[in-house]
Amino acid sequence: GNSVTQMEGPVTLSEEAFLTINCTYTATGYPSLFWYVQYPGEGLQLLLKATKADDKGSNKGFEATYRKETTSFHLEKGSVQVSDSAVYFCALSDRQGAQKLVFGQGTRLTINP
């Protein structure tokens, strides 16, 4: 079955540092890939997505590229802010039908001023 593996957390960085959170997946066919973010006490929000190989999703300074050859979708940001502190989830879904999401375990990110 489909699965997603994320970099173990927690991750702690200083403000303005470069961020990478690794995500790899196993899937049959060609899934859509997502990064969701969960701020403290809130539900998940879509951060960015990519639906086919070599697509780059981007939002709020975050980027991730759909790499089919390495089955990866790593999240990057060039300069993090304290407000980026949250839990980040990598996920995939089939592109047809019910598009049920399969999530990684999440990576807690803390940014210190």
Partner 1 sequence: NAGVTQTPKFRILKIGQSMTLQCTQDMNHNYMYWYRQDPGMGLKLIYYSVGAGITDKGEVPNGYNVSRSTTEDFPLRLELAAPSQTSVYFCASRAADTQYFGPGTRLTVL
Which residues form the interface with partner 1 (CB under 8 A)? 4, 6, 32, 36, 41-46, 49, 51, 89, 91, 93, 95, 98-101, 103-106
Q: Extract the tokens encoding 111.
A: 């940014």
Q: Is residue 9 within 8 Å of 106, Cβ to Cβ? A: yes
User: In terms of CB distance, is 88 or 111 closer to partner 1?
Assistant: 88
What is the closest distance, in whole angstroms, from the C-beta atom of residue 77 to partner 1 in the complex?
A: 21
What is the nearest approach in angstroms of partner 1 to the Cβ of residue 14?
Answer: 24
Query: Is the CB of 32 or the CB of 62 nearer to partner 1?
Result: 32
Q: Are 63 and 49 in contact (CB under 8 A)?
A: no
Q: Between 15 and 45, whose beta carbon lies closer to partner 1?
A: 45
CB of 95 to partner 1, least distance (A): 7
The alpha carbon of residue 11 and the mean position of all alpha carbons in its chain are separated, in whole angstroms, by 14
Residues written for the chain: 113
Written as one letter, the residue type at 84 is D
Residue 31 CA to residue 79 CA, distance in Å, equals 29
| Shortest spacing between CB 15 and partner 1, in angstroms | 26
